[in-house]
Amino acid sequence: MFSEFLQYLFTGITIGATYALIALGFTLIYNASHVINFAQGEFLMIGGMATVSLTAMGVPMLLAIVLAVVLAGVLGVALQRLAIAPAKNADVVTLIIITIGASIFIRGLAQLVWGKEYHVMPNFSGDEPIQIFGAVLNSQSLWVLGVGSVLVAVLVYFFTRTLTGKAILATSMNKDAARLVGIRTQVVLMLAFMVSALLGSVAGIVVAPITFTSYDIGIILGLKGFVAAAIGGLGSGMGAVVGGLALGVVEAMAAGYLSSDYKDAVAFSMILLVLFFMPRGLFGAKVVERV
């Protein structure tokens, strides 16, 4: 009985950590620009697919990972320079629609380059699962959790302790005022897209051994990540992590104790409930809109 509960919990945490990592990427760009970047899932896909195809070409795993992350970073900058920057005076909704268009474009390109098949990436540290009290945990889950915690810590440090991080926050709060105090807001935006692309690709790489990877993996994982970010409160790093884990655990518990048919329904009802009673999410900042 206990081992079953533990198994559901492990499953939930594994899925949840994946969602949390993706949610972090949303958080970053949202913080800088109030744009919800729907191409975030594509950064994830680029990370996984580029690593897989580079290792298939004989590049050592570690170098392949670095190259894939760099590729995603370049793509993030290109996305901001070529698609977002030219529309700098457009309102947020227009920019969000631009990111949707960009994600379709990137996905189409990936399908041409890499084909439509699913690909495997080996676990970072062996296929042997870890046994705890009769439940098993995929060793890759620990990687996801570990990398996730490190990234959260780095992000918190970045936003509260570094000048660049503060510049990003300032830009998000008031673009004109930020410009008046000498922040180059376009550069800040570019930076936010780049960092978020790096983050997304790292997430894509650590989860690929669990989820497999293919040109369209970004759609669903991206959406689930967005949902996690919304539950936690858009813009809050802590919220992204808690939202992701909560979503994953609720899904797994619903599949285990209720019915696997209803697990998505249960997860989505949870979102409705959270957003109904706490419209800014669990950890959302209390922002007062001045009229």
Q: Which of these, 125, 130, 81, 79, lies nearest to 105 by C-alpha position?
A: 79
Q: Which of 74, 86, 118, 157 binds other proteins (CB under 8 A)?
A: 118
Q: Is 246 in the site for other proteins (CB under 8 A)?
A: no
- For 285, phi and psi rounded to 5 degrees? -70, 145
By the 8 A CB rule, do 26 and 241 touch? no
115 Rama class: left (phi>0) / alpha (psi -120 to 50) / beta: left
- Taking CB under 8 A as the rule, which mask of x and - marks residues 10-29 in contact with other proteins? xxx-xx--x-----------
Q: Which of 66, 77, 83, 136 binds other proteins (CB under 8 A)?
A: 136
* DSSP classification of residue 135: E
Q: Is 260 in the site for other proteins (CB under 8 A)?
A: yes
Q: Which of these, 77, 30, 21, lies nearest to 204 by C-alpha position?
A: 21
Whole-number minimum distance, CB 191 to other proteins, in Å?
31
Q: Which two tokens stand for residue 15?
A: 């899925």
Q: Is 91 in the site for other proteins (CB under 8 A)?
A: no
Positions in 145-164 near other proteins (CB under 8 A)? none
For residues 209 and 237, which CB has a smaller minimum distance to other proteins in the complex? 209
For residues 14 and 185, which CB has a smaller minimum distance to other proteins in the complex? 14
Whole-number minimum distance, CB 211 to other proteins, in Å?
4
Which residue stretch of 90-98, 179-187, 192-200, 212-220 sits at the interface with other proteins (rule: CB under 8 A)? 212-220
For residues 144 and 189, which CB has a smaller minimum distance to other proteins in the complex? 144
Q: Which two tokens stand for residue 60?
A: 């050592």
Spatial distance between the Cα atoms of 13 and 134, rounded to a whole number of angstroms: 17
Whole-number minimum distance, CB 208 to other proteins, in Å?
10
Whole-number minimum distance, CB 109 to other proteins, in Å?
17
Whole-number minimum distance, CB 1 to other proteins, in Å?
9
Which residue stretch of 49-57, 167-175, 203-211, 230-238 sits at the interface with other proteins (rule: CB under 8 A)? 203-211
Three-state DSSP at 130 gives strand
Q: Is 127 in the site for other proteins (CB under 8 A)?
A: yes
Spatial distance between the Cα atoms of 289 and 50, rounded to a whole number of angstroms: 42
CA angle 235, 97, 234 (to 5 degrees): 10
CA angle 26, 250, 268 (to 5 degrees): 60
Spatial distance between the Cα atoms of 243 and 230, rounded to a whole number of angstroms: 8
Residues that bind other proteins (CB under 8 A): 4, 7-8, 10-12, 14-15, 18, 116-120, 127, 129, 136, 138, 207, 210-212, 214, 219-221, 252-253, 255-256, 260-261, 263-264
